[in-house]
Every structure is written in C-alpha cells, then in structure tokens.
Chain A
Amino acid sequence: EAGVVQSPRYKIIEKKQPVAFWCNPISGHNTLYWYLQNLGQGPELLIRYENEEAVDDSQLPKDRFSAERLKGVDSTLKIQPAELGDSAVYLCASSLQGGYGYTFGSGTRLTVV
C-alpha cells in the first residue's frame, strides 16, 4: 500500500512569491490534514478535511493561505504571498474517518529567502 505522497520535497522561493504543495493521501482515507512544523517544534494543525469539506481551518492564516481538496482525494495547500516566517516543513497526513492515529507524508521543506 502506498503511503501519503507529497510533492515537492523541497522548495526555495523568494518572499512575496506564491507557492503550492500537493498531497495524495492513502487510498480510502477520508480524513486529510495539513500540519506545519517549525524547527524544534511539534507539528501544528493548519486544516483538516473530511472528504471534500474543511471541518477545521481555525488555525489557517486565511489572508495568505488557502487549501482545497477536490473530489475528496488529493489536496493542495497554497501560500500567496510567502513571507520569510513561512519557512518550515509542511506535513500532510491522512486517516480513516474517526481514525485514531494517522500517517504522515514525507513533508515539503519550504525556504523563503
């Protein structure tokens, strides 16, 4: 069974530029999460999807961040415009609906210069 797939693995952009990250969850997993992890910190939730619906986006900075999950499968997280403080690892995870533990993808390491 393929795991959670994320791309790209690394991205370097200049500040004020847009950037997008893509995630393909484990087949059959209804729930998809985007987390942000700063160096030396634990992951922090940005948004959670149940199928196509964003059920918790309270921590998503909506002035510059947006996300979508079309057809309840793949998801895209976008930042526009990026700021220096957005440099971090962006992790996608998925689980069965109501699942107790979830599986993370390999993450995208973003560097904003």
Chain B
Amino acid sequence: QKEVEQNSGPLSVPEGAIASLNCTYSDRGSQSFFWYRQYSGKSPELIMSIYSNGDKEDGRFTAQLNKASQYVSLLIRDSQPSDSATYLCAVRGSQGNLIFGKGTKLSVKP
C-alpha cells in the first residue's frame, strides 16, 4: 500500500460547482498534512496546511482532516477554470519529509 493515496482523476466539474478532492494515508502517527496545486509544466505551490481534526477554511478552499479514518480532503467552492490543475496531497512522514500522493487532476469547465 502506498503511503499517500489519491484518485488520479481526471475530476471534471462545471464552473461554479464544488470540487471535492480526497486523500488517504497509511501512517497513523502522521500529524501534518498539506495540499499543493501544480499547474501543467509548473512546480507545486502550497495552498493549504492542516494539523488538527476538523475543517480549516481559507477563502474558497476548505481542508478537512479525520485522523481516525486517516483521511484528508480539499473542497474548492465556486470552482473557476483557473483552478484547473493537479492537486497533490502531502503528509509529513516520520523522518520529517513530505510524502506526496500521485495527485488528482482537476478540470473546471466553463
């Protein structure tokens, strides 16, 4: 089992809809979780971090964490075509390094 699992997609949503991106992780001791956005041909950009169970909101983005279920999600409200990108889930491993999932490709259709 890979340490961080994501559905590779593509996930297609219409403009203005809510996009829901999911991630599961295998290390129950993990404490820090991140979402990165990567546009095609560009490097990953940190958009959200979450450390406690529950929701964390930042503008149109909401990260959700459930440590009991080892599950992290990212909701994007009022999705825009500019949100079309690959979203990478990352978990801080026991060595202190970030372990990334394969990413979910999101396409927002006008």
Cα distance A48–B4 when bound, in Å?
20
Q: Per-residue CB proximity of A37-69 to B under 8 Å, as 1/0?
A: 000111111001000000010000000000000
Contact of B43 among A33, A48, A104 (CB under 8 A): A104
Contact of A43 among B44, B46, B92 (CB under 8 A): B44
Q: Are A106 and B43 in contact (CB under 8 A)?
A: yes
User: How far, in Å, is B66 (CB) from chain A's closest CB?
Assistant: 19
Q: Are B43 and A105 in contact (CB under 8 A)?
A: yes
Q: Are B49 and A43 in contact (CB under 8 A)?
A: no
User: How far, in Å, is A25 (CB) from chain B's closest CB?
Assistant: 14
Closest to B8 in A: A40
Closest to A95 in B: B98
In the complex, A101 has a CB within 8 A of chain B:
yes
Q: Are B97 and A45 in contact (CB under 8 A)?
A: yes
User: How far, in Å, is A84 (CB) from chain B's closest CB?
Assistant: 21
In the complex, what residues of B have CB within 8 A of residue A40's CB? 8, 102-103
Q: Are B97 and A33 in contact (CB under 8 A)?
A: yes
In the complex, what residues of A have CB within 8 A of residue B4's CB? 42
B residues lining the A interface (CB < 8 Å): 4, 8, 32, 34, 42-46, 49, 51, 88, 90, 92, 95-103
A residues lining the B interface (CB < 8 Å): 33, 40-45, 48, 56, 91, 98, 100-107
A-B complex: 7 closest residue pairs judged by Cβ atoms = A42-B100, A104-B43, A101-B46, A107-B43, A45-B97, A43-B100, A42-B102
Beyond A100-B32, A104-B43, list 10 extra A-B contacts (CB 8 Å): A40-B8, A41-B102, A42-B4, A42-B101, A42-B103, A45-B99, A56-B96, A100-B34, A101-B46, A106-B42
